[in-house]
């Protein structure tokens, strides 16, 4: 069976500005073996070009079409729901570019939607204005609900924190389009051209990458190179199909990337470990 991979970026491919060992080798394997893949990110700040430039500086050369962002997912969703609409935006270049590409105008008054992404220049004036626009009838849309963002200098508030502020102030619940929303995960799978059973989601975050994959019926791989530790799994009612320390494990030529992650072959933690996977899916 031909497989396709949806791959989170921060915590999976890199941490801050540093590549995670083995990530480049894994991506090169996908390219060499002509296995379809997309980088899937809840960061709405960057455009596709921004993301591919960052990857190139780490030694991973990919086409822009191999990157799919929550900003793109949001803009495409809105374009289908309300073609040619308007939005007041709390966010940066990646989100603005995606909305413009999909026929949306960015306005300050009487918008159809208030769209929230990551922003390093959010002010109380912007938040107050957004609150009034929502109370006046604009619909609240979140590109993602990640509560915080890791940075080289530490951690800062994420899109989810801004969304929570607006929800509390207005009493209106936002619609989330980013991971783990099936909207983004289905759009990304369509870009891969794979079926549900052929799609594998790789991520480091249980609440977004793994939850989204589980809900969609994809096979899921949790990497421990980012925000989740093995002992954290006890806190969740759902499990990934496979756990690896990092993508370096999947870069191993002994792992057949086109094999099915086995169902029903589980260890004592109800998770398939890499050794079990390799035994069941030994390269021919």
Question: Is 8 tagged catalytic?
Answer: yes
**Which of these is catalytic: 10, 24, 146, 241?**
10
Selected catalytic residue, list 8, 112, 204, 241: 8
Pairing of strands 154-157, 148-151: antiparallel
Report the alpha-carbon distance of residue 164 to residue 174 in Å, rounded. 9
Count helices and strands (H / E) in the chain.
9, 16
Contacts 24+ apart (CB under 8 A), 50-58: 50/93, 50/94, 51/9, 54/14, 55/13, 58/13, 58/14, 58/19, 58/24
> Interhelix angle for 93-101 vs 70-81, to 10°?
30
| CA–CA gap between residue 115 and residue 109 (Å, rounded) | 13
- Residue 202 contacts residue 11 (beta carbons within 8 Å): no
Say whether 174 sits in a helix, a strand or coil: coil
Q: If DSSP codes are grouped into helix, strand and coil, which group holds residue 155?
A: strand
Active site residue 10: yes
The SS3 of residue 26 is helix
DSSP-assigned letter for residue 64: G
Residues with Cβ within 8 Å of residue 23, at least 6 apart in sequence: 12, 13, 14, 60, 246, 247, 248
Catalytic residues: 8, 10
């Amino acid at each position: 069976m031909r497989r396709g991979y949806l791959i989170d970026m921060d915590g999976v491919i890199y941490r801050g500005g540093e590549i995670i060992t083995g990530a480049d080798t894994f991506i090169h394997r996908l390219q060499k073996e002509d296995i379809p893949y997309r980088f899937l990110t809840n960061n709405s700040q960057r455009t596709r070009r921004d993301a591919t430039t960052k990857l190139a500086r780490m030694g991973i050369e990919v086409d822009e079409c191999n990157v799919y962002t929550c900003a793109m997912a949001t803009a495409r969703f809105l374009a289908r729901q309300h073609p040619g609409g308007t939005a007041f935006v709390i966010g940066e270049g990646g989100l603005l570019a995606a909305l413009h590409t999909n026929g949306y105008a960015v306005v300050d008054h009487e918008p159809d939607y208030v769209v929230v992404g990551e922003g390093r220049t959010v002010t109380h004036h912007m938040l107050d204005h957004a609150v009034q626009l929502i109370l006046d009838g604009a619909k609240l849309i979140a590109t993602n609900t990640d509560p915080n963002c890791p940075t080289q200098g530490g951690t800062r508030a994420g899109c989810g924190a801004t969304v929570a502020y607006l929800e509390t102030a207005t009493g209106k619940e936002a619609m989330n389009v980013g991971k783990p929303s099936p909207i983004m995960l289905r759009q990304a799978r369509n870009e891969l051209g794979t079926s549900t059973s052929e799609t594998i989601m790789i991520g480091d975050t249980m609440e977004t990458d793994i939850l989204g994959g589980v809900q969609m019926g994809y096979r899921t791989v949790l990497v421990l190179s980012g925000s989740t530790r093995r002992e954290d799994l006890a806190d969740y009612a759902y499990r990934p199909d496979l756990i690896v320390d990092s993508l370096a494990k999947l870069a191993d030529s002994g792992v057949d990337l086109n094999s099915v992650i086995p169902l029903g072959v589980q260890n004592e933690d109800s998770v398939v470990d890499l050794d079990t996977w390799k035994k069941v899916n030994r390269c021919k």
